[in-house]
Structure formats: C-alpha cells, structure tokens
C-alpha cells in the first residue's frame, strides 16, 4: 500500500476569507422561437402569469442557457441577449 496523501490548509475565520468582488447577474427573457404568434400570445398570457418563454443567465459577460440537445449536457452559452432561435423580450 502507498502512503496516504493529505493536505491541510490553515483554518481561517469567515472574516479572514478574501471573497471576490460581486459580479452583476442578469436574467434575459425570450419569447420561445422566432414567430410573431408566440410573441403576441405571450403579451396576452404574461399578465396572467403564463406564456412560452426561454431564459438565459448572464454572468461575467456570457449568457448561459439550457437546451434539449442530443449530445452534451444541454448547457450552452452565447452573447448576452442573442440566444439563437428565440426572440429577446427583456432583462431583469
């Protein structure tokens, strides 16, 4: 058997831990697809708390989303407010 390898870091109190500066996070909301019909339906349904939407989360200059793809995890990124296949609506 080989020797066990352990690495221990000095314990720090929460006040001593240097945190990175906060980064803004934005949620970009899209109407699903690119047809005008979905956009019109969403305008009617949204005040009722419903609709067909896609969203992406922007952090550090990239927008991250999930899509149903045959390969990989489905998580992908794009330029903010430019998700291909959907119509940008607003950001919060």
How much of the chain exceeds pLDDT 70, in percent?
88
- Flag whether pLDDT at 3 surpasses 80: no
Q: Are 59 and 23 in contact (CB under 8 A)?
A: yes
Q: What is the pLDDT of residue 19?
A: 82
3-state class of 70 per DSSP? Answer: coil
Out of 1-10, 40-49, 80-89, pick the least confident: 1-10
Alpha-helix runs per DSSP H in the chain:
36-45
Report which DSSP code applies to 45: H
- Flag whether pLDDT at 26 surpasses 60: yes
Distance from C-alpha of 49 to C-alpha of 37, rounded to nearest angstrom: 18
């Amino acid at each position: 058997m080989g020797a066990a390898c352990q690495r221990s870091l000095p314990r720090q109190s929460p006040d001593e831990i240097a945190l990175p500066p906060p980064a803004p996070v934005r949620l970009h909301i899209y109407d699903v697809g690119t047809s005008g019909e979905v956009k019109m339906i969403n305008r009617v349904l949204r005040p009722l708390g419903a609709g067909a939407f896609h969203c992406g989360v922007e952090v550090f200059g990239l927008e991250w989303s999930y899509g149903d793809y045959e390969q990989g995890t489905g998580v992908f990124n794009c330029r903010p407010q430019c998700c291909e296949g959907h119509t940008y609506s607003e950001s919060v």
